[in-house]
Amino acid sequence: VSKNVGILKEKRRLKSFAQEKIGSIGTDPMLILGTVGFLLTMLCLSGCVGALRENCCLLRLFSAVMLVLITAQVLAAIMAYSLQNEIGGYLRSGMLAAMARYQDDLDLRFITDEIQTNLQCCGADTYRDWEINIYYNCSAPGVLACGVPATCCVDPLENGTVWNSQCGVRAQLLDEFTAQSVIFLGGCLGGISRWIEQHENLIGTVCIVILGVQLLTLFITTRLLDSIQWRKFSCFPLFPVEAKLLLAEASCCTHMYSDSMLSSNSLQKKGINVL
């Protein structure tokens, strides 16, 4: 009985561990970026190999995926423009989730620190949002309780040289007037919105240039595929009618030429000159 109880406890522990790891996959930024990078690399490789080897199948695959990507990007831009409020809610949920796992995920910690340092902000909407983290929650037993990360501090360097990781300790207990000299009061969602508004022209220009390059690539691929299809009979299964017509014309011309040669030979044997 004791062995069975121990086995059941171990199974539950492994199950909870697996669920935690699987659940964290969807919020792992490095895994997402690595997967997207791998897929884009394979797409570019298929296009390059298809162009160099004049492989119609790879070129068709490349052009089809490019068309899907362009359509998805256009739809995403339309949805982002029409669902601005909902996107703000998704960003808030994502940032709160990153803050909750701040001590457990080094990738999310790095991204959160970079956002707070560059935008000079703290939390999602306010510095008190850090209470969502179990280590910074005021009910936590550790030294970090009721505090904020050092990247929230106005001056995290002690004497201008040494990084003071404890500068945000007990910052949540301070009122806003006192806290403004120690930490940044504004949330990062407002900072992100202001940054987008300040750089919206640049963002729009970059998006248009990227979309234009993709459209140009799709056009060149389509023209190359058409050129290969006209020069190679191996690609004619897409155009069976045209292929049959060309083969019929070639066969007809061959028969006409052979018949004319036979007629001229028979006339020459009879002593009749053929001009």
Mean pLDDT of 218-235: 81
Residue 158, beta-bridge partner list: 162
Residue 263 has pLDDT above 80, yes or no: no
pLDDT cut 70: percent of the chain above it? 72
Residue 240 has pLDDT above 80, yes or no: no
In tens, the pLDDT along 151-206 reads 999 988 866 677 788 888 999 998 888 899 899 999 999 999 999 889 999 999 99
Single pTM value for the model: 0.65
Q: How confident is the model at residue 217 (pLDDT cuts 50, 70, 90)?
A: very high
pLDDT for the residue 21:
43
Residue 17 identity (one-letter amino acid): F
Mean pLDDT of 6-22: 44
Superfamily (CATH) of domain 101-197: Tetraspanin (1.10.1450.10)
The domains of the chain are located at 1-84+199-231, 101-197
Residue 8 has pLDDT above 80, yes or no: no
